[in-house]
Structure 1
Amino acid sequence: MLFTVKPLGALLSLLFILCLAGCTTEKAVSPKIEEKPAVVHTIKKGSHYSDKNAVKQVNATALRFEVTFDSSAVYTSAKPNNQADINKLYGFSDCSTSHQVNSARFGWRWHNNRLEVLAYTYLNKKWDYKLLGAVPLGQPVPLELRVEEDKYVFVMYGQQVAMPRACTGTAEGYQLYPYFGGDETAPHDITISIKELQ
Structure 2
Amino acid sequence: MKAIVVILIIILSSCSDLYIVPESHYIIPEGKHSSKLVNGSIGDKLRSIKTGRLEFSARFDNSARYDLHNNNQQDINKLMGFSEANQHHQDGSIRFGWRYDKAQDMVEIFAYAYRDKQLYYEGITMVEIGQTAVYRIVVNPSSYYLEVDGVSLVLDREQKEQKGFYYMLYPYFGGDEKAPHDIHIYIKELFR
Give me the TM-score of the superposition, normalised by structure 2. 0.81
Equivalent residue, structure 2, for 1:59 = 50
Q: In the alignment, what sits opposite 1:38?
A: 23
Cα gap change, 1:169/1:110 in structure 2, threshold over 3 Å: closer, same or farther?
same
Matches within 5 A, 1:72-83: 72-78=63-69, 80-83=70-73
> Per the alignment, in what secondary structure is the counterpart of residue 131 of structure 1?
strand
Q: Secondary structure at the match of 2:31?
A: coil
- Contact 2:34–2:173 under 8 Å retained in 1: yes
Matched, 1:107 2:107: no
Which residue in 2 is equivalent to 1:89? 79
Mapped partners of 1:151, 1:172: distance in 2: 18
Q: Which amino acid aligns with 1:34?
A: Y
Q: What do residues 121-172 of structure 1 show as CA deviations (whole Å, max 9, x unaligned)?
A: 0001001111011101112101101101111111012121111112264674
CA contact 1:123–1:164 (8 Å) conserved in 2: no
Q: Supply the AA of the counterpart residue of 2:51.
A: A
Alignment of 1:1-198 (within 5 A): 34-52=19-37, 54-78=45-69, 80-111=70-101, 112-113=103-104, 114-167=106-159, 169=162, 172-198=165-191
Q: How many residues align?
A: 167
Matching residue of 1:23: none
If the length of structure 1 is used for normalisation, what is the TM-score?
0.79
Q: Which residues of structure 2 form unaligned runs of 5+? A: 1-11, 38-43
Please give the alpha-carbon distance, in whole angstroms, between the structure 1 residues aligned to 2:66 and 2:135: 23
Amino acid at match of 1:69: F
Query: 1:101-132: per-residue Cα shift (whole Å, max 9, x none)?
Result: 00000000002432101110000100111101
Quick check: which has more Rg, 1 or 2? Answer: 1
User: Equivalents in 2 of 1:170, 1:150: separation in Å?
Assistant: 14
Check 1:47–1:154 CA distance in 2 against 1; reply closer, same or farther (3 A cut).
same
Percent identity reads 38
Contact 2:85 2:162 in 1 (8 A): no
In the aligned structure 1, how far is the partner of 2:86 from the partner of 2:20? 29
